[in-house]
Amino acid sequence: MGAGGNMNVTSGRKNVLERVPVKKTPFEISDLKKAIPQHCFKRDLQRSLYYLFVLSSTIASANRFGSLMLEWFHPSLAHYDSREWDWIRGALSTVDRDYGIFNTIFHDVTCAHVVHHLISTIPHYHTVEATKAIKPILGDYYKYDDTPILKAFWRETKECIFVEPDEGAENSGGRMNDVSSNKDVLKRVPTAKTPFEISDLKKAIPPHCFKRSLATSSYYLFRDIAICYTFYYLASNYIPLLPKPLNYIAWPIYWFCQGTSFMGIWSIGHDLGHHAFSEYQWLDDTLGFILHSSFLTPYFSFKYSHRSHHAHTNSMEYDEVWIPKRKADTMYSEVLNNPLGNLFMTVVRLLLSFPMYFTFNIHGREYNGFASHFYPYSPIFNDSERKQIWLSDAGMVVAFYALYKIAAATSATWLFCIYGAPLLVMNAHFIFFTFLHHSHPSLAHYDSREWDWIRGALSTVDRDYGIFNTIFHDVTCAHVVHHLISTIPHYHTVEATKAIKPILGDYYKYDDTPILKAFWRETKECIFVEPDEGAENSGVYWFRR
């Protein structure tokens, strides 16, 4: 009676996202009432007043709003229109969840909500017992989900956006949009010529997605700058006042938060380089030059090499970055194919790859001659671009001089804590998600015998970074469409992705593997590439370990 928390045995439970049946129930409400002990229907005034006093004395009741949403939002639960709805199936379209100690605080309305919808006059101190009594009758019609509650809230916030009937379903009564039933994430993407052209994809995308609104783009830029300044203000004014033990904790928190904020602004600079910010090329280049120089990125140098990357994605000969090693390179296939080698490569990638790529073209395409983003006569660039490479270098000189003056006015330690460490975090973010964009066991690379632009552009993957999708302006979860049409502004890429997915079919790759797990998997599995043994099209390369 009145037990909170551990009301359900969850060992060996079924898939929590398995759909609840929508056919007519084989039982009536009278059958359920008969199964419940008679004392459960008794409403004791004295006992109810006691719980009312307890409720009024706890601040935790403010959390009730979140639990209300979770009682009705679940990918496995149906909604019905007038053609299908009946009272008992509607009442069963709710879910019991385990809130731990909050079950008791909220008087079991969280973990015994189904029975409450069936017989709402049962007092809360009997609902758990009543639930146990009717579960054998309900069978699959009863939904219980013990997913950790914050994880469940985030999942339902993402997944339960709208409802629609199943395509071709006889009973088109409606159901939560369910994207969780993802296919095998390691299933290979097709390598045959695509049955569609880029023009087909453009036609499928709503016309407004191509519009680059200066006002909307500026809003995101100023919002990110305001967040960045807020972190700076808090860190510079309050962290130095903390006692040393707390100081040591606060600085790394600031570094991560500010570095993440830097990455958001840098991503807008990346959009500026693609002319996806406004309709004015000169404005995009001016803002991009200022933003990227502020983060020690040579704007025009990166703009041109990145354009080459988009033009030759996943080409073994001509892609500009993240070109995998072939098996013939025994250092990668033998020396690094072990946990220690994987860990070493992870540390090197995250800490050094960003500046090393710009300076020495590490992870870049092989050229004859010295290839560097700072060298105007580098083979990376053509003659018409060299003047702007000089301009990029000038921007870097000004940025370094400004940092020198700041360090002289404060201290090198202060500059590192406020700017240097967050910049390293930003660099790590960039390497982390660009590596994951272009490293996946299901994606092919092509040599010149097989490569074409559209298959190369489709050889990237969308992933779910949770809240970081928003912070990084969806470059993480809508990267495929960005490679297909890079001038679509970031605030339209998710909508554009949804528009083209039906056309792309199996050519579209989405992987919702938890991101740290995916990073470690790709670090282990994506060591080198080689064609399938005996394959007819030996110009198609797959990752191996």
On the question of pLDDT at 460 being above 60, the answer is: yes
Contacts of 342 (CB under 8 A, 6+ apart): 336, 520, 523, 524
DSSP label of 529 = E
CB 131 within 8 A of CB 118: no
3-state secondary structure of 175: strand
On the question of pLDDT at 378 being above 90, the answer is: yes
pLDDT at 138: 87
The Cα–Cα gap between 406 and 479 comes to 37
What's the rounded mean pLDDT across residues 255-281? 98
DSSP label of 510 = E
pLDDT tens digits for 115-162?
A: 899 898 999 889 999 999 989 888 888 889 888 888 888 788 777 877
What's the rounded mean pLDDT across residues 527-542? 85
The Cα–Cα gap between 8 and 144 comes to 8
Q: In 48-179, where do the E strands start and end? A: 96-97, 144-145
On the question of pLDDT at 59 being above 70, the answer is: no
* pLDDT band per the 50, 70, 90 thresholds, residue 6: very low
> Which amino acid is residue 484, in one-letter code?
L
pLDDT at 170: 55
Three-state SS sequence of 308-374 = HHHHCCCECCCCCECCCEECCCHHHHHHCCCHHHHHHHHHHHHHHHHHHHHHHCCCECCCCCCCCCC
Task: Look up residue 129 and give its two tokens.
Answer: 């017992």
CB 138 within 8 A of CB 112: no
Contacts of 122 (CB under 8 A, 6+ apart): 36, 40, 41, 115, 116, 130
Choice among 91-105, 114-128, 220-234, 413-427 with the minimum mean pLDDT: 91-105
Antiparallel, parallel or unpaired: β 540-544 and 96-97: unpaired
Residue that the structure tokens 């060299």 belong to: 386
The Cα–Cα gap between 324 and 527 comes to 8
CB 371 within 8 A of CB 378: yes
> Which amino acid is residue 274, in one-letter code?
H
pLDDT tens digits for 223-263?
A: 999 999 999 999 999 999 999 889 999 999 999 999 999 99
What's the rounded mean pLDDT across residues 515-535? 89
CB 379 within 8 A of CB 371: yes
pLDDT tens digits for 311-355?
A: 999 999 999 999 998 876 656 556 666 778 778 878 888 988 999
The Cα–Cα gap between 283 and 84 comes to 56
Nearest to 109 by CA among 2, 181, 256: 2
More confident residue, 271 or 154: 271
CB 364 within 8 A of CB 321: yes
Q: Percent of the chain beyond pLDDT 90?
A: 57
* pLDDT band per the 50, 70, 90 thresholds, residue 25: confident
Q: Which residues pair with 315 in a beta bridge?
A: 446
Three-state SS sequence of 21-67 = CCCCCCCCHHHHHHHCCHHHHCCCHHHHHHHHHHHHCCHHHHHHHHH
Nearest to 527 by CA among 315, 327, 364, 350: 327
Between CA 438 and CA 294, with CA 356 as vertex, the angle to 5 degrees is 95
CB 268 within 8 A of CB 491: no
**N- to C-terminal Cα distance for the chain?**
56
Q: In 407-538, where do the E strands start and end? A: 445-446, 462-463, 510-511, 528-530
Nearest to 36 by CA among 110, 108, 106, 137: 137
